A and B are shown apart, each in its own frame.
Chain A
Amino acid sequence: MRNKSVATLAGMSVLALYSSMAVGSKYNFPEPQSVIAQDIYDQHIVLLWICLAIFIGVFGVMFYSVLKHRKSLGYKAANFHHSTTVEVIWTVIPCLILVAMAWPATKTIIAMKDTSSPDMTIKATGYQWMWGYDYLQGEGEGISFFSKLSTPRAQLQNREPKGENYLLEVDNNLVVPVGKKVRIILTANDVIHAWWVPALGIKQDAIPGFIRDTWFTADNPGIYRGQCAELCGKDHGYMPIVVEVLDEAAYAKWAAEKLVGTSSAVNLAAVSTEMAASGADEAVEAAEENSDNN
């Protein structure tokens, strides 16, 4: 039974490795690019250590017992089967550990939920299968475009070598300025989608007929990639999200250029009502269509 302890050791070293991974490695969350993402990253590391400690505690005892208290070593079984004291202790201690875990999480949740006074507001609408963006408020107000996967089909079907950003590239990036509180308003046109950018620490479902919101403030300029994170049908795997964070000047320039191309500002209420109402009909039609094709 030596191999069991070897297996244990191996398992534990893997776990230890796992938790001490450098920022941004492929064993961990991507490098955080916002305060919230940083909080999440840190809490995850702390939790890993706590869990590892409990794990070593529990299985240290268990495997000590497995190695020593075996019949083959002639060990005679004791006959105790009850102890109120230890049972109370091992009920209370986990409770305390949990409180320690919940405390920072609670603070982060409250911060995450606070979408008030944004510098700019963008509406993201999920479609089967692309995203629509409308800049509703702040610099760039009135910009409106769709954003779809730009990886060529030939790459998906292995007829061409896959590019560096395979499946994580779009025709129109969502462009935002650095250091500004950006509020994202979410809805969907047909089924539920989810808007997720790991490096910014946000993920929010887009529910047809309802409006949800979330926010982020990007710390550094750069390009951050994410994907739709709610099964939304056939091409769920093919609706990435690319957020391009520019410094203020570059953003202003981008917005000005983009606005020239956009004819008129979008009225949220009008568009969304029309959208959701037609969404219902479309869902019905789509259902009918779906049963026919294939």
Chain B
Amino acid sequence: MAAIHGDVHGHGHDDHHPTGIMRWITTTNHKDIGSMYLWFSLAMFFTGGFLALGIRAELFQPGIQILEPELFNSFTTLHGLIMVFGAIMPAFVGFANWQVPLMIGAPDMAFARMNNWSFWLLPVAASLLVSSFFVPGGAAAGGWTFYPPLSTQGGLGVDMMIFAVHILGASSIMGAINIITTILNMRAPGMKLMDMPLFVWTWLITAYLLVLVMPVLAGTVTMLLTDRHFGTSFFNAAGGGDPVLFQHIFWFFGHPEVYIMILPAFGIVSEIIPTFARKPLFGYSSMVYATASIAILSCVVWAHHMFTAGMPTVGQLFFMYSTMLIAVPTGVKVFNWTATMWRGSMTFETPMLFAIGFIFLFVIGGFSGVICAIVPIDIQVQDTYYVIAHFHYVLVSGALFSLFAGAYYWLPKWTGHMYDETLGKWHFWLSMIFFNLTFFVQHFLGLAGMPRRIPDYALQFADFNMISSIGAFGFGMSQLLFVYIVIKCVRSKEAAPEKPWDGATTLEWTHLPTPAPYHSFEKPPVFKPVSH
């Protein structure tokens, strides 16, 4: 991704951009910024993965081996935070940076300088998070959900996490505003909203979710901060507040947040499936409406994370019903993808493999989600490894697999080189096998009664934990292959075909050379709508 040749110069731009490190620090180019987002998120994925391996190593056997309980909790907490805010979200923003302007025929993002800032806030937040491991008192250890009063205890590390979250929030909000504005204002002439590729649609809706909920997160952590240091009583019963209030506000953010991490994934998959089925996407408009419905519903389901916190019966019923309802629009998407594949003329290059793997495993995760949504069952599985299994199915084999799919799909366009197809397939199959090894057995652990966030467990959980740990190390190692493939692709000398995927129909493939020039769409492309 680093190697971008063939600048097409034109007026209206300042072409004398600095070289070397200053190019990356000062850049206002959406492609440079997109690449930085992607590399950053890869680094964070490995950092979070390193923590995950620490967790899995400790859980390999009963007893305390390598991580003392408090440090274990810090590992879990920072693993969650870094994966969510450092790996998955920035990766999707990276895709948006690269692809949104290309797919709508825009010269760049609407606010190019602010775009740079959105990115360069991330390393700042990451350094706050990572260095908090080394301060007195250690890193935050209250879980990525940092419920008070537990997070009211704890020292400097918690404050560093709070400010990191503030900064991440600022970055996300600026990024979201940029994406919304770009999409609303900078589409190629003639491209109506309902002509936009689905990836663009899903990002538009995701960006709305971001501006809706990130400020709420900022508010929550601010209240936590003042409760910790300035004597306010938002989450303290003694002063009239309520620890559960925190949970409501957090999950008002937190649940839409999980859809923020999956809607762009749906978008990527919706681009890839038609391309490799050589057949138009089935039900374009119902896909758009389904995405919007998921987003809207996601704002009224938050308390399904709080079924054991104690809530009036009507509350439990409301949140159970509304949560279950999300299965309907999500199902529509799954069915539409299936119908797109039906009677297509399919080939199975790596992006398609990851896309199909995504659907297959995401649906398993979706089902376990629906099972969690049934209050009586959730009473049993809440805060157990069943939930861990649920959300790794939707996050790892969901969000992460879609990111791999998208990376393989667009790497030729970005770098001008083809990735190694054989290695790509290896990456897929290894990931597929080890992923399931790691997380499928966690369903059993949860059902049998293993709580989450514990450094040690009773003996009856030993064998599944061992399997899970072996799977995790296998999965981690398989990801080294991905890094190798990407570097090999970037460094490769061979030019990729202009249009490696014959089924692709979006602007970046039809209207731009491969690799995409440094300044794309100096002049807006002529857009011809296809009928849906």
Give the complex CA separation of A95 and B447 in angstroms. 27
Interface residue? B167 (CB, 8 A): no
* A158-B64 contact given A40-B380, A90-B335, A165-B458, CB 8 Å threshold: yes
A77's contact among B238, B278, B281, B453, by CB below 8 Å, is which? B278
CB of B348 within 8 A of CB of A229, answer no
**0/1 string, B416-457, CB within 8 A of A gives 1:** 000000000000010010001000100110011101111111
Number of A-B contacts (CB under 8 A): 320
Give the complex CA separation of A155 and B348 in angstroms. 52
**0/1 string, A1-13, CB within 8 A of B gives 1:** 1010001000100
B390 to chain A, nearest CB (A): 12
CB of B343 within 8 A of CB of A39, answer no
* A202-B379 contact given A59-B360, A166-B458, A290-B155, CB 8 Å threshold: yes
Binds A, one of B41-49, B106-114, B144-152, B199-207: B144-152
Q: From residue 301 to 315 of chain B, which have CB atoms closer than 8 A to chain A?
A: 308-310, 313
Interface residue? B283 (CB, 8 A): yes
CB of B344 within 8 A of CB of A91, answer no
**Set of chain A residues within 8 Å of B153, measured between Cβ atoms:** 191, 233, 283, 286-287, 290
* A77-B458 contact given A90-B331, A90-B332, CB 8 Å threshold: no
B487 to chain A, nearest CB (A): 28
CB of B375 within 8 A of CB of A109, answer yes
Number of B residues with CB within 8 Å of any CB on chain A: 105
* A77-B308 contact given A158-B64, A291-B137, CB 8 Å threshold: no
Number of A residues with CB within 8 Å of any CB on chain B: 107
**Set of chain A residues within 8 Å of B4, measured between Cβ atoms:** none
Interface residue? A168 (CB, 8 A): yes
Interface residue? A101 (CB, 8 A): yes
Give the complex CA separation of A190 and B384 in angstroms. 22
Interface residue? B484 (CB, 8 A): no
A192's contact among B147, B316, B379, by CB below 8 Å, is which? B147
Interface centre among A166, A194, A212, A232 (most CB of B within 10 A): A166
A113 to chain B, nearest CB (A): 5
CB of B277 within 8 A of CB of A77, answer yes
**Set of chain B residues within 8 Å of A190, measured between Cβ atoms:** 149
Interface residue? B402 (CB, 8 A): no
**Set of chain A residues within 8 Å of B376, measured between Cβ atoms:** 36, 39-40, 43, 105, 108-109, 112, 201
B379's contact among A3, A203, A280, by CB below 8 Å, is which? A203
Which residue of chain B has the shortest Cβ distance to A209 in the bound complex? B237
Q: From residue 204 to 248 of chain B, which have CB atoms closer than 8 A to chain A?
A: 228, 236-239, 242-244
Give the complex CA separation of A191 and B154 in angstroms. 12
Which residue of chain B has the shortest Cβ distance to A229 in the bound complex? B383
Binds B, one of A25-33, A135-143, A249-257, A258-266: A25-33
A205 to chain B, nearest CB (A): 5
Give the complex CA separation of A109 and B242 in angstroms. 24
User: Could you list 29 examples of A-B contacts with CB < 8 Å?
Assistant: A26-B460, A27-B448, A28-B444, A29-B448, A36-B376, A43-B376, A47-B377, A65-B344, A70-B347, A77-B278, A81-B340, A91-B331, A101-B370, A112-B379, A113-B316, A155-B63, A162-B62, A167-B458, A190-B149, A191-B153, A201-B380, A204-B308, A205-B308, A209-B237, A210-B237, A227-B451, A231-B143, A231-B453, A290-B155
14 additional A-B residue pairs with CB within 8 Å, beyond A77-B278, A109-B313 = A27-B448, A29-B448, A65-B343, A71-B278, A78-B279, A81-B532, A102-B324, A105-B374, A210-B243, A226-B449, A237-B69, A276-B237, A280-B239, A287-B155
Which 3 pairs show the lowest CB-CB distances between chains A and B? A209-B237, A291-B155, A237-B454
Q: Which residues of A contact B (CB under 8 A)?
A: 1, 3, 7, 11, 14, 18, 26-30, 36, 39-40, 43-44, 47-48, 51, 54-55, 58-59, 61-62, 65-66, 69-72, 75-83, 86-87, 90-91, 94-95, 98, 101-102, 105-106, 108-110, 112-113, 155-158, 162, 164-168, 190-192, 194, 196, 198, 201-205, 207-210, 212, 226-238, 276-277, 279-280, 283, 286-287, 290-294
